[in-house]
Structures are given as structure tokens and as C-alpha cells.
Structure 1
Amino acid sequence: MTPVRLRLDTLAYGGNAVGRLQGKAIFVPGGAPGDEILCRIVREKKRFAEGELEELLVAGPGRRTPPCPVFGDCGGCQWQHLDYGEQSLWKERIFAETLRRQCGIDESLLLPLAIAPEEWGYRSRVQFKCSQGEGTFDLGFYRRGSHSVIDVPRCAIADPRINAALGLFRHWLRGLPIPGRILQVDMAVGDTGGVRVVVHLADEDPVPLARYLTPLAREAGFALFLQFGRKGALHPCCGVADLTIGIGAPEMFLGYGPGGFAQVNLAQNRYLIQLVEEAADLTGTERVLDLFCGMGNFSLPLARRAGEVIGVEGFAPSIVKARDNALRNGIGNAVFHACPAESAALRFRSAGGWDLALLDPPRAGAFEVIKDLVRARPRRILYVSCDPPTLARDLVPLLQGGYTLAWSRPIDLFPQTCHTESLTLLTLGPR
């Protein structure tokens, strides 16, 4: 199809720019509001079309040159070509529009975006994909819209310690006589210390690779683990398994192991916890339920201000860490259960009920858990979400079930991407 001239006006959820051609919305990856482009239509739908940016004719006012040499080909970041101020404006706007459109939230209840203190080098956990052939080895990310791997010399949003480790592992792994057997390399850092690396293998004996990598990793100061086989068995090679992050005021330290979860933006995680503590407004007597509690990221700071905290998490190793973290920080009023979040609000409810329920579900949201909360009727709910559409979906039954939205605030934990975290406070009863 012959390219058409198109002006791009807005950004949509998912990161694409949007223009209109004969009344039909055209979604264009890599576009910016205000751009005038030549666009090639690559996919026609009944109500919209998808296009590719063929040529930039006039740059929009918020456009910049992305610093990453593989931006556009790499499927990781969507918005490096936008000034950070432009990114922030559109994250706030898209978040507000999602909640207004899907559940009728009044705009006055939607607070401004909490911007990130650093837009580069913030990411503390990265999963690098691998592609091996005879004499070739690519270590990076999937190309946009595919499962082929693009080699990434460094990642602009990764912690500098991770980028240093990335260069070493690319050198160490290239040319090994096991093409196709190394699937992924996970790298993570905490607030202190070195890099933890987990190398994922297909069904392969880990011992030869462990013998080769262990002295190299030990000399570089890395903690190294190999994960292999259908059951994901973890083979320790060297170093300490736990990474440690600092949170709260006064500061406490939490550890989490390989396979466990911690927010990728440690500075913004600390700010998010501060917002949670302020919104919880605890006096020392309350009974608090923390669903999807992980290793105690919210449970333990709240426990210092509550009467009792019950934490629930389906990933049992994280519950082990939560209990360890409570012990190391002298927290005696937090109890943790390794079980699904579904039905927990009813199962662990006491005669006095819940004063506060906090939930931090995965991107898919917590629709079944929301049904339990409507029945359990905690006096207040704090919902931490990483996906505005599933947040809006989950808010509807709460608003229909007797809850009032006090406020909702987007928080930028993921600069250079279209993703937005948020914190929402709901109270039982009318405003």
C-alpha cells in the first residue's frame, strides 16, 4: 500500500501514537504527538488500522533522539523518543482517561503523576533473552512483535552494575559448545552489594557450565545460580542468594531470593511505601490484611504502625522470606500464610473484621479477590496496581458494592515505557 501523510495527535494505552485517516484511528508505534509522517498501513481492522512510520516529515514538540542504538527494534522500551516531561504528561492523561471511561471516576479524585527521580539506570532487575547458534551468541531482548532476540550491548534503563555484568557474561558465554541450551540470563541488584545472576538452561546437566562459570563469577563478585530442567531446579554456584533492599522510615532491610519479587525501581518503591503508610493512617490498633504480600514489602512497614498484619502470598518461597524479614527487623505482629489470595479475606477474618486491606496483584488484576473484599467489607482498601485497565475493571464491583473512591494516584516506576503503577484508596460507605 502506498504510504499516506498522517498527523499524529495523541498516545494510546499500550504506547502507540494515534492519528486519524478518513475518520478511522491509525495506531503507529514510535510516533509522537504532533508528528507529521508518511505512514504505511500494515493491518486493516473494521474500526481502526495499524501503521508503520515510513518517514518523519515534521517532528512533534516532545520528540527527542533516543539514546539507545536498538530503540525501535528492541521490544523493551516504547517511549525513549519522547522527552521525560512528555512521557509524564501522557501517562497521567492516559491513566485518568482509563478510569474516567471505564468506571466513571470524577477527575477531581485523580491526583497528579508521581514522577521518577531518575529516568535512566533505574531498573534493578532485568531478564535477558538468549539466542545461540554455531559460533554466535546474542544476549538481549526480543525484537518488537517477535520472539527473535536482538543483541543489546547495554540497556539504558538498567542499573550500571547490571550493564557491567552483561558485558562480562556476553564474553563468557559466547562460543560455548552448547548452542540453543542457554535460554535466559536474569540479573538483579539490591540497594547494596553486587549482582545476582541466574542462568536458565534447557534440560541440560548444569555441572559443566557451573565448573566453567563459577570461578569467573566468583572473581567478579557475582552471586551465580543455574536454573535447569522442567521443574526449574536451582543449582547454586557461588555467592549469597538473597538481595537486600532498604525501605521505610526508620529504614528496615528486606531480603528476597532468586525467583522472588521486588519492584524494579527501588527509589520509587520507597516512595510508594511512604504513600501507603500515609494513606493507611494507622494508630497502632488496626487489623490489616496484605494480599499478594511477597516478601513483606508493605506488610512489614505497616506492621510497625498496626495492631496486627496478616500477609498472604501464593509463592511459598516469598512467605519464607517474609517471615525471615520480620524476624531480622524485630517485627512480631505480622503473620504470613502461603496460600492463594482468593478467599483469604474471608478465611482469616476475625469477629472485628478488617480495618484495612491492601492488595498488590500482578498485571492481570484481582477480580476474584475483589468479590471476597466486597463480602468481607474492610473499612478501607488500598489497591496497588501496575495496569490501569485491570484496576478500572476491579474498581467497578467495589464502587457498586458500597465503597467510595477517595483518590487515585499514578506513579511512574517505569520511565521510557508506557507502563504506570498506581495507588488507590477506597473507603466503606458514602463520602
Structure 2
Amino acid sequence: MSLPVQKNDRITVHVEDLTHDGAGVAKVDGYPLFIVGALPGEIAEIHVVKTTKSYGFGKLIEIIKPSEHRVAPPCHVFDECGGCQVQHLSYEGQLKWKQQLVKNAIERIARLPHVTVHPVKGMDNPWRYRNKSQIPFALQDGKVVGGFYKTRSHEIVDTDTCIIQSEQADDLLREMKKQLGRIGITPYNEKTHQGMLRHIVIRKALATSEIMVVIVTKKKKFPQREEAIEAIKLILPEVTSIVQNINSEKTNVIFGEETFTLFGKDSIEDTIGDVRFEISARSFYQVNPEQTEVLYKQALEYAQLTGTETVIDAYCGIGTISLFLAKEAKQVLGVDVVPQAIEDAKRNAEINKFKNTYFEEGLAEVVIPKWYKDGITADVLVVDPPRKGCDEALLLTILEQKPKRVVYVSCNPATLARDLRILEDGGYATQEVQPVDMFPQTTHCEAVAWLELRK
């Protein structure tokens, strides 16, 4: 069967939709073509660069009729950098698209067309929101470069600024490129496993303005360590913590296992609502604290706590959601498989003087049944899993233990919808879904779903 288009064809198309990763979708006689940079509603001339039996790819040549939501991307490396995917779409357009993205998943994957998916809760200012930046450096033609990776690669796009991260991160990025050569620290090369500096990570607390800088090196000892500390303090006089992390492995994972403090405090402190958190170099902490509060308030609203409930937080991390819930619950029990996260959660509960929390390390699908055997049953169960969604064993545990209410916090609409279908088939009814925009200018969208056990 011949395809309606062939490779190297130059054709005019009408763009109908966006994929989950932000590429435009056009159809020629029902045959889909994916076009990076194209927006729904646009008429565009494209060059067909690849075809398969089921779909093809086109390169945008000219926009004949632009979308009403098309804007000029304010970032000068938008076309190269893989950090943002939809800067060319107005923020109003982004929020509408993200709502539809969640709605499509709920309708098509979860098969729940009757469930309300509310408009996305967005930001007043969708820029400079990231409180954490991970900056790689490299040598290119003998020159130190730093910035962010190109899409689906580890090739660095050299830049001095990123308008979704803090100004302090920009200062550090720009000035450290100058300082590395001066003090003689060689950037790490992934291919040859040579060089010393792998990454510089900066974390800024929104509420307290405390700043931590993490130097990730291949070895613990290096002769320029004191010069590096002084260079960072000169660039950021307000820095409150400088930490070194050692990663000697042949890997593209950023952090290694060993961390120690070079200057100032071991951690920085931030607040979400009125709950305080200590954040160490490797702590998981949401990168957009302003929207994190919006997200957690939504989870709290759906939990409908009266002060008499036992709540289980099945992916508790450092206790961020757990402590939010503990303010209004009888007790909250959190479980997480990462030992450091559980240590952080216990410390954060202590800092906030919570007496009604308990945290345990382990697999949720193992620990929660043990709690039930010990006579602890959940009125409300909260899950906030990684992008792959809930472990199948945990979903079975939920269906066996039957808490009357489940609050599902998701960072992936597709796996959220998949898991909602399983819970629906097991006796739960999805009441509604509220998307929250945690990552403006990108294709990512978080959502909170509220489920009730059917009577």
C-alpha cells in the first residue's frame, strides 16, 4: 500500500493538534505527520523528512497562517535547548492545551468521559520559577562552555542565561565559565572519563532566599578546591552553603553517594505554606515551590480531612505532602523506598513539631499490608508516584485494603489515566481531576485526582 506522502515531499498541511511532547500533528488522508515547532490551527509548508507505515515526520519550512496563540520565544536558544518545548505557545494557549492533554488521557485511556477535568491552575508569572538548576560544563575547542543539553542528547548548548531559573543560577553559570579556566579545573568528559568538574547544582529557597551550591566532582581531593570555594563566594556573596558531591562512576547520573559540606550550613530551609523543610544537596524537593503549595492545597481539599482520619502517604519522599496533611488529620503514616528521604521526612516532622506522623522505609506494597495487619487502616490514601505511575502491587494493595478515599497526585496524565482505570474496575469512582501547571514553558503537567470507594 502506497503512502499519501513520500520522504522529501514538500507539502502544505493544516496542523490539528499537539503531541504530549509538544510536536504539531497534521494529517494527510488520515496519515499523521509530526512537526516540531508547529501549532494547532496553523497552515504550514513542511518538508517530509521521514516516513514509516503508520506515521511520518516533517520539518517546518514556512508558516503560511500562524496560530492566534503563537508568540516569539523570548529565549535565544529555544530552538536548540531541550529544557523548554512550548515557549512559542502563549501561556494562555499552554494552559488550554494542558487541560486538553489531561482530558484526552482521562477520556481515552481511563475511559471516563463523564469525569470533569477542570481548567489548569497556572502561574501569574510563568518565568524564573525554578529553585534548582543543574549545570553541566564541558570543553569545546579548548574553551569552557556551560548551559543545558540539546533535546535527546548530552551535547551542551552554551548559554549565559535561562529565563525559567533564578538570576543567581544565571550569575553562577556565566561567571564560573570564566573562573574554571583561570583556576585550572577541567570539566568532566563523559566519553573519556577524564576531567574533574561534572556539574554545578544551585538550589535557592523561595521563602528564606537561602542558597546552596553543590560542586559535583570526579574525585574527592583536587588542588583547586579552595579557589573554587572562593570563586563561588565572590560570584554569590549571599551563598549560605557550599557542598561537594563525589561521583567517580562512568554514568550520566548527576550525583554520587558521598557528600560533605565545604562552607556554611549542611542544608537550606524553605517553607511551603506554613510548613518548614530542610533541603540537603540530594533531597527531592519540588522545583516550583509557588505551584507546589497550589498542588498540595488541592490534595488537602480532596482529602476532606476533619481531624479524625488516618492518612497513608504511599510515596512520601521527604514528607512534603505528609506534613501538609498532618495539620488536619488524626495521624499520617508515610512510606518511601529511599532511606535518605525517610530520614529527611523524620527530621522535617521534628522541625515542625508534628507528633502525629510516622515514617517507614520500604516498598509501599509491602509496608502498607503490614500496617493493616497491625490494626492501622487508612481512611484516606495519598499517592504521588514517579512518572511511571503506581506499582501494580500497590494498586492491588489499595484494592485489597479499600480506603474510603484515594487522592492521586500525578506528574504524567497517561499513567494517571491507566491507574484510574484499574482503580475504577476495582470499585472506586473518580470524582474529578484538577490539573496544576508546575512547569510553565514545558510539556509537563501535574494533576490531582479524587476517588471515592463505591458503596
TM-score range, shorter chain: over 0.9
- The answer (yes or no) to whether the contact 1:124–1:188 under 8 Å persists in 2 is yes
**Kindly tell me: are residues 173 and 107 of structure 1, through their superposed partners in 2, closer, same or farther at Cα, counting changes over 3 Å?**
farther
Gaps of 5+ in 1: none
State the 1:179 CA deviation: 4.2
- In the other structure, the counterpart of 1:82 is 89
Work out the CA distance in 2 between the residues paired with 1:148 and 1:419: 22
Which moved further from structure 2: 96-105 or 278-287? 278-287
- In the other structure, the counterpart of 1:345 is 368
Work out the CA distance in 2 between the residues paired with 1:31 and 1:199: 39
- The answer (yes or no) to whether the contact 2:296–2:321 under 8 Å persists in 1 is yes
Structure 1 residue 169 corresponds to structure 2 residue 176:
yes
Structure 1 residue 227 corresponds to structure 2 residue 235:
no
- In the other structure, the counterpart of 2:205 is 190
The alignment partner of 1:306 has SS state of coil
State the 1:170 CA deviation: 2.5
The alignment partner of 2:387 has SS state of coil
Work out the CA distance in 1 between the residues paired with 2:364 and 2:159: 38
- In the other structure, the counterpart of 1:328 is 351
Work out the CA distance in 2 between the residues paired with 1:351 and 1:234: 39
State the 1:386 CA deviation: 0.3
Q: CA offsets, 1:394-413, max 9 Å, x none?
A: 11211111111011111111
Work out the CA distance in 1 between the residues paired with 2:145 and 2:119: 41
* Identity percentage of aligned residues: 29
Q: CA offsets, 1:184-232, max 9 Å, x none?
A: 2222111213321222223x34432422211222342322222222353
- In the other structure, the counterpart of 1:24 is 31
Work out the CA distance in 2 between the residues paired with 1:160 and 1:311: 35
Gaps of 5+ in 2: 1-7, 189-194, 250-255
For 1:201, the aligned partner's letter is T
Structure 1 residue 210 corresponds to structure 2 residue 233:
no
Work out the CA distance in 2 between the residues paired with 1:211 and 1:321: 29
Work out the CA distance in 2 between the residues paired with 1:240 and 1:152: 30
The alignment partner of 1:172 has SS state of helix
**Kindly tell me: are residues 118 and 344 of structure 1, through their superposed partners in 2, closer, same or farther at Cα, counting changes over 3 Å?**
farther
Which moved further from structure 2: 167-176 or 389-398? 167-176
Work out the CA distance in 2 between the residues paired with 1:378 and 1:152: 50
For 2:452, the aligned partner's letter is T
Which moved further from structure 2: 164-173 or 93-102? 164-173
Structure 1 residue 388 corresponds to structure 2 residue 417:
no
- In the other structure, the counterpart of 1:404 is 429
- In the other structure, the counterpart of 1:55 is 62
- In the other structure, the counterpart of 2:313 is 290
State the 1:352 CA deviation: 5.6
Work out the CA distance in 2 between the residues paired with 1:399 and 1:390: 14
State the 1:383 CA deviation: 0.7
- The answer (yes or no) to whether the contact 2:342–2:359 under 8 Å persists in 1 is yes
- The answer (yes or no) to whether the contact 1:162–1:195 under 8 Å persists in 2 is no
Which moved further from structure 2: 61-70 or 129-138? 129-138
* TM-score (structure 1 length as normaliser): 0.94
Work out the CA distance in 2 between the residues paired with 1:314 and 1:218: 36
Which moved further from structure 2: 416-425 or 19-28? 19-28
For 2:367, the aligned partner's letter is A
**Kindly tell me: are residues 114 and 77 of structure 1, through their superposed partners in 2, closer, same or farther at Cα, counting changes over 3 Å?**
same
For these two proteins, the number of residue pairs brought into alignment is: 427
* TM-score (structure 2 length as normaliser): 0.89
**Kindly tell me: are residues 170 and 179 of structure 1, through their superposed partners in 2, closer, same or farther at Cα, counting changes over 3 Å?**
closer
Work out the CA distance in 1 between the residues paired with 2:326 and 2:187: 49
The alignment partner of 2:109 has SS state of helix
- In the other structure, the counterpart of 2:125 is 118
Work out the CA distance in 1 between the residues paired with 2:59 and 2:334: 47
**Kindly tell me: are residues 133 and 236 of structure 1, through their superposed partners in 2, closer, same or farther at Cα, counting changes over 3 Å?**
farther
The alignment partner of 1:207 has SS state of coil
